[in-house]
Amino acid sequence: MPQNNPRCTDCSQDNCLIKKYCSEQWKQTIEQQKTTGVYLEKQAIFSEDNLEFGVYFIYKGKVKIFNTGKQGKQHIIRFADSGDVLGFKGYSDKNYRISCTALENTVICFLEKDFFFSVIKKNPEFALALIQYYAKGLAFSEFHQKNLVQFNTKNRVTEALLMIKKHFGAATDEGILLDVNLSQHDIADIAGITAEETNRCLSFFKKEKIIDYHSHKKITLLNVNKLFEMIVDNCCEKDMYINQQRCCEHLL
């Protein structure tokens, strides 16, 4: 659903890499070249194996990034929100390797692939910031994949809750509200376990007063410190202190 382009020269999205690192001249050029669309809740932004036409910048909204395994089961890799970049993998990729779907009505700016490479070449500060952005994302993915192998079901759900909090946590009088429309199936898809296992873990956390939720309502984290402790207690490699810090840094 197209809409009028937000102006790059006076963009209100402070986290946008273009706003922060591109020259004023290039912001004007990008403003003329980009297109902007609104994606409704649950609408696909791009899908696995589709041709890669360009790069997406989230102006406002929330999305999930996932791939699909056997029998159509999703595995949620990460979330993204305002200011994040989607769909860029480099020169060699001709098809998207992941899928991306809006979790709420989301406004996204789009740059075609060839033009985007021109922006990178002519704006070195932007290019460096983009490298750092994707390096951080790669580190997050490495920790998450490692934890999926090593963690038991409770700690997988714990990590999933903290991942959601990182992007969508909102402070309330009761605790940290996970302010996004995600089902228990979505949490299971992050944790790499079944919905039944997820339900049992959430019920346990609720009984222990670590979280609270009611049927069909969003989850509130009542004791975030306890959730972090559960993750840290399972990081037990040689240098305990360093690894305890590293195992949680992608969730902070």
Report whether pLDDT(169) > 60: yes
User: Residue 240's pLDDT band (boundaries 50, 70, 90)?
Assistant: very low
Q: Which helix (H) or strand (E) holds 129?
A: helix 124-150
Using CA atoms, how far apart are residues 233 and 245, in angstroms rounded to an integer?
11
161: tokens are: 């809750």
Question: Which residue segments constitute the domains of the chain, with CATH numbers given?
Answer: 8-137 (2.60.120.10), 151-249 (1.10.10.10)
User: Residue 164's pLDDT band (boundaries 50, 70, 90)?
Assistant: very high
Q: Which residue has the tokens 């009761």?
A: 174
pLDDT, position 239: 45
| Residues contacting 25, CB < 8 A, separation 6+ | none
Using CA atoms, how far apart are residues 66 and 69, in angstroms rounded to an integer?
10
- Strand 35-39 relative to strand 106-112: parallel, antiparallel, unpaired? antiparallel
Q: Which residue has the tokens 């909090």?
A: 165
25 or 144, higher pLDDT: 25
Burial 115-131 (b: 16+ CB within 10 A, else e): ebeebeeebeebeebbe
Supply the DSSP symbol for 113: H
* 144-165 average pLDDT score: 84
Pick from 2-6, 8-12, 84-88, 103-107: least confident:
2-6
Query: What is the longest distance spanned by two Cα atoms in the chain?
Result: 57
| Identity of the residue numbered 210 | I
217 or 134, higher pLDDT: 134
Beta strands in the chain (DSSP E): 35-39, 44-46, 54-60, 62-68, 74-81, 85-86, 99-102, 106-112, 169-171, 176-178, 211-212, 220-221
pLDDT, position 241: 44
pLDDT, position 74: 84
**What percent of the chain is modeled with pLDDT above 70?**
87
pTM over 0.75: yes
142: tokens are: 């490495």
The rounded mean pLDDT for the chain is 86
| Residues contacting 232, CB < 8 A, separation 6+ | 244, 247, 248
**Strand order from edge to edge, sheet including 99-102:** 44-46, 99-102, 62-68, 74-81
Q: Centre a 10 Å sphere on the Cβ of residue 238 and count the other Cβ atoms it contains.
A: 6
Pick from 29-33, 44-48, 92-96, 211-215: least confident:
92-96
Report whether pLDDT(228) > 60: yes
Report whether pLDDT(243) > 80: no
Using CA atoms, how far apart are residues 3 and 131, in angstroms rounded to an integer?
30
